[in-house]
Structure 1
Protein backbone atom coordinates (compact mmCIF):
# COMPACT_ATOMS: atom_id res chain seq x y z
CA UNK A 1 0.00 0.00 0.00
CA UNK A 2 2.71 2.49 0.97
CA UNK A 3 4.73 1.64 -2.14
CA UNK A 4 1.80 2.53 -4.37
CA UNK A 5 1.09 5.73 -2.44
CA UNK A 6 4.76 6.69 -2.73
CA UNK A 7 4.88 5.97 -6.47
CA UNK A 8 7.07 2.86 -6.33
CA UNK A 9 6.17 -0.36 -8.16
CA UNK A 10 5.22 -3.20 -5.84
CA UNK A 11 5.73 -6.92 -6.30
CA UNK A 12 3.65 -9.65 -4.69
CA UNK A 13 5.43 -12.49 -2.88
CA UNK A 14 4.72 -14.81 -5.84
CA UNK A 15 6.12 -12.27 -8.31
CA UNK A 16 9.25 -11.80 -6.23
CA UNK A 17 9.74 -15.55 -5.90
CA UNK A 18 9.53 -15.89 -9.69
CA UNK A 19 12.00 -13.03 -10.21
CA UNK A 20 14.40 -14.60 -7.69
CA UNK A 21 14.27 -17.88 -9.60
CA UNK A 22 15.14 -16.00 -12.78
CA UNK A 23 18.05 -14.36 -10.94
CA UNK A 24 19.79 -11.10 -11.74
CA UNK A 25 18.32 -8.87 -9.06
CA UNK A 26 19.55 -7.36 -5.83
CA UNK A 27 17.24 -7.90 -2.85
CA UNK A 28 17.67 -5.63 0.18
CA UNK A 29 16.02 -5.86 3.61
CA UNK A 30 15.70 -2.37 5.09
CA UNK A 31 13.94 -3.24 8.34
CA UNK A 32 15.18 -1.20 11.30
CA UNK A 33 17.07 -4.04 12.97
CA UNK A 34 18.84 -7.11 11.61
CA UNK A 35 16.23 -9.82 11.15
CA UNK A 36 15.94 -12.39 13.93
CA UNK A 37 13.65 -14.63 11.91
CA UNK A 38 15.93 -14.70 8.85
CA UNK A 39 16.12 -13.07 5.46
CA UNK A 40 14.39 -13.84 2.22
CA UNK A 41 16.90 -16.12 0.43
CA UNK A 42 19.38 -14.02 -1.52
CA UNK A 43 18.70 -10.83 0.44
CA UNK A 44 21.07 -8.77 2.52
CA UNK A 45 20.17 -6.46 5.38
CA UNK A 46 21.16 -2.79 5.32
CA UNK A 47 20.32 -0.38 8.13
CA UNK A 48 17.92 2.04 6.41
CA UNK A 49 19.40 5.00 8.29
CA UNK A 50 22.83 4.18 6.85
CA UNK A 51 21.83 3.34 3.25
CA UNK A 52 24.07 5.07 0.75
CA UNK A 53 24.89 4.76 -2.94
CA UNK A 54 27.93 2.66 -2.03
CA UNK A 55 25.55 -0.07 -0.77
CA UNK A 56 23.94 -0.50 -4.19
CA UNK A 57 25.24 -2.12 -7.38
CA UNK A 58 27.39 0.08 -9.60
CA UNK A 59 25.27 -1.07 -12.56
CA UNK A 60 22.36 1.34 -12.26
CA UNK A 61 20.22 -0.80 -14.57
CA UNK A 62 20.41 -3.76 -12.16
CA UNK A 63 16.99 -4.60 -10.71
CA UNK A 64 16.73 -3.55 -7.05
CA UNK A 65 13.96 -4.84 -4.79
CA UNK A 66 13.64 -3.50 -1.25
CA UNK A 67 11.47 -4.87 1.52
CA UNK A 68 10.57 -4.07 5.10
CA UNK A 69 8.00 -5.44 7.55
CA UNK A 70 4.55 -5.15 5.96
CA UNK A 71 2.42 -3.15 3.47
CA UNK A 72 2.24 -0.18 5.85
CA UNK A 73 5.99 0.11 6.40
CA UNK A 74 7.56 3.14 4.69
CA UNK A 75 11.22 2.10 4.84
CA UNK A 76 11.27 0.07 1.61
CA UNK A 77 9.45 2.67 -0.51
CA UNK A 78 11.72 5.40 0.88
CA UNK A 79 14.83 3.36 0.08
CA UNK A 80 13.51 2.66 -3.42
CA UNK A 81 12.82 6.34 -4.05
CA UNK A 82 16.30 7.20 -2.79
CA UNK A 83 17.82 4.62 -5.15
CA UNK A 84 15.97 6.27 -8.02
CA UNK A 85 17.40 9.64 -6.99
CA UNK A 86 20.86 8.06 -7.16
CA UNK A 87 20.17 7.05 -10.76
CA UNK A 88 18.92 3.47 -10.48
CA UNK A 89 16.34 2.77 -13.15
CA UNK A 90 14.70 -0.56 -12.20
CA UNK A 91 13.50 -0.29 -8.61
CA UNK A 92 10.60 -1.99 -6.82
CA UNK A 93 9.46 -3.12 -3.38
CA UNK A 94 7.95 -6.29 -1.98
CA UNK A 95 4.55 -4.71 -1.36
CA UNK A 96 3.46 -7.20 1.34
CA UNK A 97 6.79 -6.99 3.18
CA UNK A 98 8.42 -9.93 4.90
CA UNK A 99 5.18 -10.60 6.80
CA UNK A 100 3.38 -11.19 3.49
CA UNK A 101 6.26 -13.37 2.27
CA UNK A 102 5.90 -15.55 5.37
CA UNK A 103 2.08 -15.64 5.13
CA UNK A 104 2.50 -16.96 1.59
CA UNK A 105 4.48 -19.87 3.06
CA UNK A 106 7.72 -18.87 1.35
CA UNK A 107 11.10 -19.70 2.91
CA UNK A 108 13.54 -17.63 4.92
CA UNK A 109 17.25 -18.27 5.09
Structure 2
Protein backbone atom coordinates (compact mmCIF):
# COMPACT_ATOMS: atom_id res chain seq x y z
CA UNK A 1 0.00 0.00 0.00
CA UNK A 2 1.47 3.36 -1.02
CA UNK A 3 1.22 6.62 0.93
CA UNK A 4 -1.23 7.92 -1.66
CA UNK A 5 -3.55 4.97 -1.06
CA UNK A 6 -3.19 5.31 2.70
CA UNK A 7 -3.95 9.03 2.52
CA UNK A 8 -6.98 8.39 0.31
CA UNK A 9 -8.26 5.77 2.76
CA UNK A 10 -7.78 8.12 5.74
CA UNK A 11 -9.69 10.87 3.94
CA UNK A 12 -12.54 8.58 2.94
CA UNK A 13 -12.82 6.89 6.37
CA UNK A 14 -11.84 9.45 9.02
CA UNK A 15 -13.67 7.74 11.91
CA UNK A 16 -12.05 4.39 11.21
CA UNK A 17 -8.66 6.07 10.79
CA UNK A 18 -9.01 7.94 14.10
CA UNK A 19 -10.09 4.75 15.85
CA UNK A 20 -7.00 2.96 14.53
CA UNK A 21 -4.71 5.78 15.66
CA UNK A 22 -6.42 5.89 19.07
CA UNK A 23 -6.07 2.15 19.63
CA UNK A 24 -2.45 2.22 18.51
CA UNK A 25 -1.68 5.03 20.96
CA UNK A 26 -3.50 3.19 23.75
CA UNK A 27 -1.39 0.08 23.19
CA UNK A 28 1.83 2.12 23.09
CA UNK A 29 0.93 4.02 26.27
CA UNK A 30 -0.06 0.83 28.10
CA UNK A 31 3.13 -0.98 27.11
CA UNK A 32 5.26 2.03 28.08
CA UNK A 33 3.57 2.29 31.49
CA UNK A 34 4.08 -1.43 32.02
CA UNK A 35 7.78 -1.28 31.17
CA UNK A 36 8.33 1.81 33.36
CA UNK A 37 6.48 0.32 36.35
CA UNK A 38 9.57 -1.61 37.40
CA UNK A 39 7.65 -4.88 37.56
CA UNK A 40 9.29 -7.60 35.47
CA UNK A 41 7.24 -9.23 32.74
CA UNK A 42 7.92 -12.94 32.29
CA UNK A 43 7.34 -14.98 29.16
CA UNK A 44 5.31 -18.14 29.71
CA UNK A 45 8.53 -20.19 29.50
CA UNK A 46 10.29 -17.99 32.08
CA UNK A 47 7.24 -18.14 34.35
CA UNK A 48 7.27 -21.94 34.13
CA UNK A 49 10.94 -21.99 35.13
CA UNK A 50 10.21 -19.73 38.13
CA UNK A 51 7.29 -21.92 39.16
CA UNK A 52 9.38 -25.08 38.97
CA UNK A 53 12.73 -23.92 40.35
CA UNK A 54 11.84 -21.01 42.64
CA UNK A 55 8.45 -22.31 43.81
CA UNK A 56 6.80 -19.09 42.66
CA UNK A 57 3.21 -18.55 43.74
CA UNK A 58 0.91 -17.84 40.81
CA UNK A 59 -1.88 -15.43 41.76
CA UNK A 60 -4.74 -15.21 39.27
CA UNK A 61 -6.63 -11.93 39.71
CA UNK A 62 -9.31 -12.74 37.13
CA UNK A 63 -12.96 -12.79 38.19
CA UNK A 64 -13.88 -16.11 39.87
CA UNK A 65 -16.05 -17.19 36.91
CA UNK A 66 -13.14 -16.72 34.48
CA UNK A 67 -10.77 -18.54 36.85
CA UNK A 68 -13.18 -21.51 36.94
CA UNK A 69 -13.17 -21.69 33.13
CA UNK A 70 -9.38 -21.87 32.78
CA UNK A 71 -6.41 -21.28 35.05
CA UNK A 72 -2.82 -22.35 35.52
CA UNK A 73 -2.51 -25.52 37.58
CA UNK A 74 -1.46 -24.63 41.13
CA UNK A 75 -2.48 -20.98 40.87
CA UNK A 76 -4.66 -19.37 43.50
CA UNK A 77 -7.69 -17.27 42.72
CA UNK A 78 -7.73 -13.81 44.26
CA UNK A 79 -10.03 -11.63 42.11
CA UNK A 80 -8.70 -8.10 41.73
CA UNK A 81 -11.77 -6.66 43.46
CA UNK A 82 -11.00 -8.81 46.54
CA UNK A 83 -7.23 -8.31 46.55
CA UNK A 84 -6.10 -7.36 50.04
CA UNK A 85 -2.56 -8.69 50.52
CA UNK A 86 -2.67 -8.22 54.29
CA UNK A 87 -5.97 -10.04 54.90
CA UNK A 88 -5.70 -12.92 52.42
CA UNK A 89 -4.23 -15.89 54.32
CA UNK A 90 -2.16 -17.41 51.50
CA UNK A 91 -0.89 -14.05 50.29
CA UNK A 92 0.05 -12.84 53.76
CA UNK A 93 2.29 -15.91 54.17
CA UNK A 94 3.91 -15.48 50.73
CA UNK A 95 5.64 -12.10 51.08
CA UNK A 96 9.10 -13.68 50.82
CA UNK A 97 8.17 -15.98 47.92
CA UNK A 98 8.35 -15.05 44.26
CA UNK A 99 4.85 -14.13 43.07
CA UNK A 100 3.67 -14.19 39.45
CA UNK A 101 0.47 -12.22 38.90
CA UNK A 102 -1.85 -13.39 36.12
CA UNK A 103 -5.14 -12.24 34.61
CA UNK A 104 -6.95 -13.05 31.37
CA UNK A 105 -4.94 -10.89 28.97
CA UNK A 106 -2.36 -9.18 31.17
CA UNK A 107 -4.11 -5.86 31.77
CA UNK A 108 -5.47 -6.02 35.35
CA UNK A 109 -2.49 -7.96 36.66
CA UNK A 110 -0.36 -4.80 36.61
CA UNK A 111 -2.65 -3.06 39.12
CA UNK A 112 -2.59 -6.14 41.35
CA UNK A 113 1.21 -6.36 41.15
CA UNK A 114 1.49 -2.71 42.22
CA UNK A 115 -0.74 -3.43 45.24
CA UNK A 116 1.44 -6.38 46.20
CA UNK A 117 4.64 -4.34 45.88
CA UNK A 118 3.12 -1.59 48.00
CA UNK A 119 2.17 -4.20 50.63
CA UNK A 120 5.81 -5.29 50.93
CA UNK A 121 6.08 -8.19 48.50
CA UNK A 122 9.66 -8.11 47.23
CA UNK A 123 9.62 -10.44 44.22
CA UNK A 124 6.58 -9.70 42.07
CA UNK A 125 6.35 -10.25 38.32
CA UNK A 126 3.70 -10.43 35.61
CA UNK A 127 2.91 -13.13 33.09
CA UNK A 128 3.23 -11.63 29.62
CA UNK A 129 -0.14 -11.87 27.89
CA UNK A 130 -1.87 -13.43 30.89
CA UNK A 131 -3.77 -16.68 30.45
CA UNK A 132 -4.19 -15.85 26.75
CA UNK A 133 -0.39 -15.73 26.36
CA UNK A 134 -0.03 -18.93 28.39
CA UNK A 135 -2.48 -20.73 26.11
CA UNK A 136 -0.87 -19.27 23.00
CA UNK A 137 2.39 -20.86 24.15
CA UNK A 138 0.51 -24.20 24.21
CA UNK A 139 0.88 -24.59 27.96
CA UNK A 140 -1.78 -26.49 29.90
CA UNK A 141 -4.64 -24.96 31.84
CA UNK A 142 -7.15 -26.61 34.12
CA UNK A 143 -10.80 -25.94 34.91
CA UNK A 144 -12.78 -25.68 38.10
CA UNK A 145 -11.89 -24.07 41.39
Structures share a fold, TM > 0.5?
yes
Higher RCO by CA contacts (8 Å cutoff, separation 6 or greater): 1
TM-score by length of 2: 0.66
Question: CA offset at residue 24 of structure 1?
Answer: 1.7
Cα distance per residue 1:81-109 (max 9 Å; x no partner): 10111111000010211001001100012
Q: 2:97 aligned with 1:62, yes or no? A: yes
Bigger Rg, structure 1 or 2: 2
Aligned match of 1:42: 74
| Number of equivalences | 107
Structure 1 segments unaligned to the other structure (5+ residues)? none
User: Which has the larger displacement, 19-28 or 42-51?
Assistant: 19-28
**Whole-Å separation in 2 of the counterparts to 1:101 and 1:107:** 8
- Whose strand proportion is higher, 1 or 2? 1
TM-score by length of 1: 0.86
**Whole-Å separation in 2 of the counterparts to 1:46 and 1:87:** 17
For the Cα contact (< 8 Å) 1:61–1:89, is it kept in 2?
Answer: yes
**Whole-Å separation in 1 of the counterparts to 2:54 and 2:74:** 10
**Whole-Å separation in 1 of the counterparts to 2:83 and 2:128:** 20
Q: What are the within-5 Å matches in structure 2 for residues 13-24 of structure 1?
A: 13-24=44-55
Give the secondary-structure state (helix, strand or coil) at the position aligned to 1:49: helix
For the Cα contact (< 8 Å) 1:3–1:95, is it kept in 2?
Answer: no
Structure 2 segments unaligned to the other structure (5+ residues)? 1-30
**Whole-Å separation in 1 of the counterparts to 2:116 and 2:135:** 26
**Which of residues 41, 44, 69 is equivalent to 1:10?**
41
